[in-house]
Structure 1
Amino acid sequence: MDFLAIKITSSDNKIIKHIRQLSKRKFREKNKEYIIEGIRSIKDAIKYEEEIKHILYSNKINNVQYGEELLNDILSGKLNAYEVDEKIFKSLSDTENTQGIMAVMAMKNHDINSFIKGDGLYVILDRIQDPGNLGTIIRTADSAGFNGVILTKGCVDVYNPKVIRSTMGSIFNIPIIQGTYEKDLIEVLHKEKINIVCTSLDTDKYYYDVDFSKNLAIVIGNEGNGVSDYILNKSNLLIKIPILGKAESLNASTASSIIIYESVRQRMTKLL
């Protein structure tokens, strides 16, 4: 069946109401759906064969670079598309300057017991609050070839629109689990003999003194309070990044990038 473009003229339409509800985390979690916006995000979702429930667009897409081309591709596909006027679209959009296209996506489901394997490389984010930090760390872990990102309970929602934009498409490339309880996570990591390495100021060991090439979970803590005491006490090693200036600490995403790419350096060095 060809892709059907149906015009919606009322903001009281049930599909519009449903999309509006997905702006709230509780409804995203209830329906196992989330929203992406913009030409690049939609193109990435199609490229990586993500499950797209609906596409919503306005005439504005025809005035955006590559917009008309993308819309033509969509209209020859096999999903339902809905055209709305710009006023309705703006009422649903999370961005100030929209590109006139968004999609409702199905969340992926990962089980932590089958997700973590003994020889893998993982990033664990403990109660990270800033959407930009979370999205940037996911993007970095993806670019560094890590096997997954795990979010403890209390982290900002990975399906928050600001997080999704910050990942720049990496949300489709790397497995992510969120809402994980610390106890359950530690049990699986210990069972799989994964070394748990936490960032902490209370250590004399620097990140470049550690083998980051395999079998590792790097834990990055909350922006204000660091890694929880429970995870710290269950970890195999504490590390820190040297700070030579007057700053007290580094931004969470900056610290993550430094440590994650030490793993890349070590793995590439072993290949030489």
Structure 2
Amino acid sequence: MPSDIAPITSTQNPLVKKLRQLHQTKGRKQQGQLLLEGTHLVEVALAQGKRFNHGCFTAVWQEKNPALVDRLVAQSAQSYLVSGEVLAKMASTVNPDGVVATLAMDQFWRSPPPNPQLGLVLEHLQDPGNLGTILRTAAATGVEGIWLTADCADPTSPKVLRSSAGSSLLLPQQQLESLPPLLEKFQAQGLQLIATVPQGSQTLWEIDFQRPTIVIFGSEGQGLSAPVLAMTTHQVAIPQAPAVESLNVAIAVGVMLYEARRQQWSVSTPG
């Protein structure tokens, strides 16, 4: 074993307890780091040039991924060869695939640009699976920044990271206690602020998304708060069959973002 890789064979090792605490928001805040689980998330972070505090992997994973091991060790402050039992204790998933790593919060959070062409604001969004799906769609549509209220599902949670398929590592994100100051700034810059409502006076197909745009979505059950809704410049409907009451919020976000990018890309693409 290389001298820069230390072995851990006991589930009582202090590092095991430390990484298990990262399964919860409280532990992540106290330690100032988050947990990445699985080969794909680690690969995405490595490709982004992230540097890990800890990289932990099993002998089986090491044998299957020799090139990744070299990169993981090179980009980790501390590297550990652990038993399968130890890795299972470290991970939050039922069947971990052999690798976990810890990432400092300042490697995750990045400030969004002040003048985005397309941005996304989320208020009171509670479900981690929905948030992960939204982040994945946002990355696919080239969203330039995401702003979330602090009571949204935690973007650094293992479930959000997994459901985003690593896309959350690609996106500039910022948590805010209150949205009105941000929305006032966007208004002053001339950005259009668009919300979806069941009975909108326009459909999303009538909106000119070639203008710099912020799309705003609220919680799964209640939608946007009244003060935030009052600050929007457009309240639009997504057309749907009468028998359907509403779309899942992650689906609705996807519909809006792809319509915005369809318009923007159709102008920027020659021919």
**What is the alpha-carbon root mean square deviation over aligned residues?**
2.1
TM-score, length basis structure 1? 0.90
Instruction: Note closer, same or farther for the CA distance 1:230–1:79 as it changes in structure 2 (3 Å cut).
Output: same
Q: Distance in 2 between matches of 1:100 and 1:41?
A: 12
Deviation by residue 1:109-162 (Cα, 9 ceiling, x = unmatched): 445xxx342353111111111112111111111111111111112210001111
Q: Once the 2 structures are TM-superposed, how far is the Cα of residue 76 of structure 1 from its aligned partner?
A: 5.2
Q: Does 1:152 align with 2:149?
A: yes
**1:171 matched to which residue of 2?**
168
**1:193 matched to which residue of 2?**
190
Alignment of 1:207-218 (within 5 A): 207-218=204-215
Q: Distance in 1 between matches of 2:171 and 2:42?
A: 17
Q: Once the 2 structures are TM-superposed, how far is the Cα of residue 190 of structure 1 from its aligned partner?
A: 2.8
Deviation by residue 1:51-79 (Cα, 9 ceiling, x = unmatched): 3111111234147xx53442244345563
CA contact (8 A) 1:3 1:75 kept: no
Which residue of 230, 233, 253 maps to 1:233?
A: 230
Q: Distance in 1 between matches of 2:51 and 2:225?
A: 35
Q: Does 1:130 align with 2:113?
A: no
Deviation by residue 1:142-199 (Cα, 9 ceiling, x = unmatched): 1111111111122100011111011112122210112442233323323433221111
Any idea what SS the aligned residue of 1:79 has? strand
Counting matched residue pairs gives 266
Q: Distance in 1 between matches of 2:188 and 2:51?
A: 32
Q: Does 1:80 align with 2:71?
A: no
Which residue of 94, 98, 103 maps to 1:100?
A: 98
Unaligned runs of 5+ in 2: none
CA contact (8 A) 1:3 1:76 kept: no
Deviation by residue 1:214-248 (Cα, 9 ceiling, x = unmatched): 32110112111111111101111101101114110
Q: Distance in 1 between matches of 2:148 and 2:96?
A: 29
Q: Does 1:254 align with 2:251?
A: yes
Q: Distance in 2 between matches of 1:232 and 1:77?
A: 44
**1:29 matched to which residue of 2?**
29
CA contact (8 A) 1:213 1:266 kept: yes
Q: Distance in 2 between matches of 1:31 and 1:191?
A: 38
TM-score, length basis structure 2? 0.90
Unaligned runs of 5+ in 1: none
Instruction: Note closer, same or farther for the CA distance 1:37–1:206 as it changes in structure 2 (3 Å cut).
Output: same
Identity %: 28
CA contact (8 A) 2:144 2:171 kept: yes
CA contact (8 A) 2:192 2:211 kept: no
Which residue of 88, 103, 109 maps to 1:90?
A: 88
Q: Distance in 1 between matches of 2:203 and 2:32?
A: 40
